[in-house]
């Protein structure tokens, strides 16, 4: 009989505690890349070896379940090698070969099931539909449970009755929204056995962080490399930071698609700007509403120029007419571009990001255009207002955007990348990566929102002519 050999596996301190704790229901709330899948896989293999019981790894996708199952196979291989070494000095070469073959037979994997000595098994299953799990008989590992559909409540309702027959449930994940069964389990430490491990806890126990060159680094440097405060709190400090969803749904963006004229200008140096870009003659009768998101090096500087559509069916709806995207351009050039946009029509209004680097440029624009230009400092309150204006524009079908394909698709994904955290009274915007334009920090979204803020200027200041 081959027995488990956990002593041959190297665990981090928190993993050792987790591995040795064997309650009926165990919850692991652990930071990203903290080793929660590995230690859960080790526990499943160890328990299957020592008790002959069956284990099921359940994730939202087969791919995720397979990744955890692969760790089970690695651990089983380690235990198999350890069992071989035990007889190495006592057996003849022929006897050792026979034992080797027997071990290979005892430790075998067919399809997505690992068969272990004593009859125990570990099987990987997709769990998108909870009803397909109703007939399981055995122990269950829920991996990345925070991502399960409908908060994981339906899955828990189906699987929990297993423990009435003596089986065990392990639930592991990094936090997602608060309105999930995983959040409920983590916060009920009187009922459930909860292991909670942040990146700070792991570093204190000897976990080594590495920078982008692979060299050891400290927490602050690693956090700066990550560059996402909200993501850091959730993914590494294990905070349930709220229920996030797209501020503007993809369906609303799709409904806003228009094939109206659009001119896009990409500028990567001061020599790339054409002063005749704006067609002053064509814009003479169309008041423009301009939003300007400021950047200098790492992000994009974007100018969004809205005009009212003129067709009978969409009269009054705003449409993106010009988009200027600048990267690594001087503030002098940026001011020149915005000035040209404002001068394209004497009734144009605009708003710009006056936070930090944008303060001086926006003060200059304000001095030049007076009440027609509004500097906006990105306080929490101001960003919430911008988010509300942006969402309302699409809710009211009052904004048109270019097609969500080809060269303009990235504009839509930039709008979609802004997530809304509604866990508190005030709307909070969370910027997520744009897969089609990774250098954008939702810069096109903020330029758009500022253009909508500019549109509200005429309502707030009646003396500004609307033409």
Calculate the dihedral angle through the C-alpha atoms of 454, 243, 221, 442, rounding to the nearest 10 degrees: -30
Encoding tokens for residue 369? 């255009």
pLDDT at 461: 55
Q: Do 320 and 304 touch, CB atoms closer than 8 A?
A: yes
Domain boundaries, the chain: 8-235, 245-458
At residue 57, what are phi and psi to the nearest 5 degrees? -100, 120
The 8-class DSSP code of residue 348 comes to: -
pLDDT at 109: 57
| pLDDT for residue 83 | 59
Rounded Cα–Cα distance for residues 197 and 30 (Å): 5
Per-residue model confidence (pLDDT) at position 131 = 85
In this prediction, residue 178 carries a pLDDT of 72
Fold category of 8-235 in CATH: Rossmann fold (3.40.50)
pTM above 0.95, yes or no: no
- Residue range 245-458 forms a domain whose CATH class is alpha beta
47: phi then psi, degrees, rounded to nearest 5: -70, -40
Residue 135: predicted pLDDT? 80
Q: What is the pLDDT of residue 465?
A: 42
pLDDT of amino acid 19: 96
Predicted pLDDT of residue 98: 47
Q: Tens digit of pLDDT per residue, the chain (467 long)?
A: 344 445 568 899 999 999 999 999 999 999 999 999 999 999 999 999 899 999 999 998 888 889 999 999 889 888 777 655 444 334 344 444 444 455 454 555 566 899 888 889 999 998 888 888 888 889 999 999 998 888 888 999 999 998 888 899 999 999 987 778 998 999 899 899 999 999 999 999 999 999 888 899 999 999 888 877 767 888 999 988 665 678 998 889 999 999 988 999 999 887 888 888 987 666 767 789 999 999 987 789 999 999 987 654 556 789 999 999 999 899 999 999 999 999 999 899 999 999 998 999 999 999 999 999 999 999 999 999 999 999 999 999 999 999 998 999 999 999 988 988 766 667 888 888 888 898 999 999 999 999 999 998 765 554 444 33
Exposure on the CB side of residue 359, measured as CA atoms within 13 A: 5
Residue 446 to residues 121, 430, 451, Cα–Cα distance (Å): 53, 12, 8
pLDDT in the model for residue 458? 61
Give yes or no for a contact between 289 and 373, defined as CB atoms under 8 angstroms apart: no
Beta strands per DSSP E along 49-157: 54-59, 108-110, 113-115, 121-126, 139-143
Half-sphere exposure of 443 (CA within 13 A, CB side): 22
pLDDT, residue 163, reads: 82
What does the alpha-carbon distance between residue 68 and residue 212 come to, in Å, rounded to a whole number?
A: 26
Look at residue 314 in the predicted model and tell me its pLDDT. Answer: 59
Nearest-angstrom CA–CA distance, 131 and 367: 65
Q: What is the pLDDT of residue 150?
A: 81
Rg (CA), the chain: 29
């Amino acid at each position: 009989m081959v027995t488990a050999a956990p002593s041959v596996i190297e665990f981090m301190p928190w993993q050792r505690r987790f591995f040795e704790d064997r309650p009926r229901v165990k919850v692991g709330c652990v930071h990203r890349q903290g080793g929660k899948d590995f230690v859960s896989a080790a526990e499943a293999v160890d328990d299957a070896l020592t008790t002959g019981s069956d284990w099921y790894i359940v994730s939202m996708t087969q791919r995720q379940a397979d990744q955890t199952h692969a760790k089970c196979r690695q651990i089983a291989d380690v235990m198999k090698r350890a069992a071989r070494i035990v007889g190495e000095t006592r057996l003849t070469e022929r006897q050792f070969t026979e034992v080797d073959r027997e071990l290979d037979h005892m430790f075998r994997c067919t399809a997505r099931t690992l068969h272990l000595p004593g009859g125990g098994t570990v099987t990987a299953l997709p769990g998108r539909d909870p009803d397909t799990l109703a007939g399981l008989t055995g122990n269950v590992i829920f991996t990345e449970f925070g991502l399960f559909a409908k908060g994981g409540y339906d899955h828990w309702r189906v699987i929990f009755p297993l423990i009435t027959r003596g089986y065990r449930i392990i639930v592991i994940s990094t936090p997602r929204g608060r309105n999930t069964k995983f959040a409920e389990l983590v916060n009920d430490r009187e009922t459930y056995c909860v292991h909670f491990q942040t990146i700070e806890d792991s570093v204190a126990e000897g976990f080594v962080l590495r920078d982008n060159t692979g060299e050891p680094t400290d927490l602050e440097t690693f956090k700066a490399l990550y560059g996402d405060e909200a993501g850091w709190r959730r993914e590494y400090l294990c905070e349930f930071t709220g229920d996030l969803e797209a501020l503007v749904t993809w369906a609303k963006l799709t409904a806003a698609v228009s094939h109206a004229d659009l001119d896009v200008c990409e500028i990567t140096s001061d020599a790339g700007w054409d002063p005749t870009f704006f067609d002053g003659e064509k814009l003479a009768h169309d008041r423009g509403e301009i939003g300007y998101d400021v950047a200098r090096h790492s992000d994009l500087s974007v100018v969004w120029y809205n005009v009212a559509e003129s067709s009978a069916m969409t009269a009054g709806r705003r449409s993106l007419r010009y988009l200027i995207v600048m990267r690594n351009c001087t503030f002098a050039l940026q001011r020149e571009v915005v000035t040209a946009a404002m001068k394209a029509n004497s009734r144009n209004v605009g708003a710009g990001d006056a936070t930090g680097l944008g303060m001086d440029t926006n003060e200059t624009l304000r001095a030049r255009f007076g009440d027609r230009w509004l500097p906006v400092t990105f306080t929490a309150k101001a960003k919430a207002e911008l988010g509300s204006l942006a969402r309302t524009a699409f809710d009211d079908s009052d904004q048109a955007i270019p097609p969500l394909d080809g060269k303009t698709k990235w504009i839509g994904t930039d709008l979609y990348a802004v997530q809304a955290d509604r866990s508190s009274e005030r709307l909070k915007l969370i910027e997520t990566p744009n897969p089609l334009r990774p250098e954008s920090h939702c810069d096109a979204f903020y330029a758009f929102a500022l253009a909508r803020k500019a549109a509200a200027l005429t309502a707030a200041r009646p003396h500004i002519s609307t033409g």
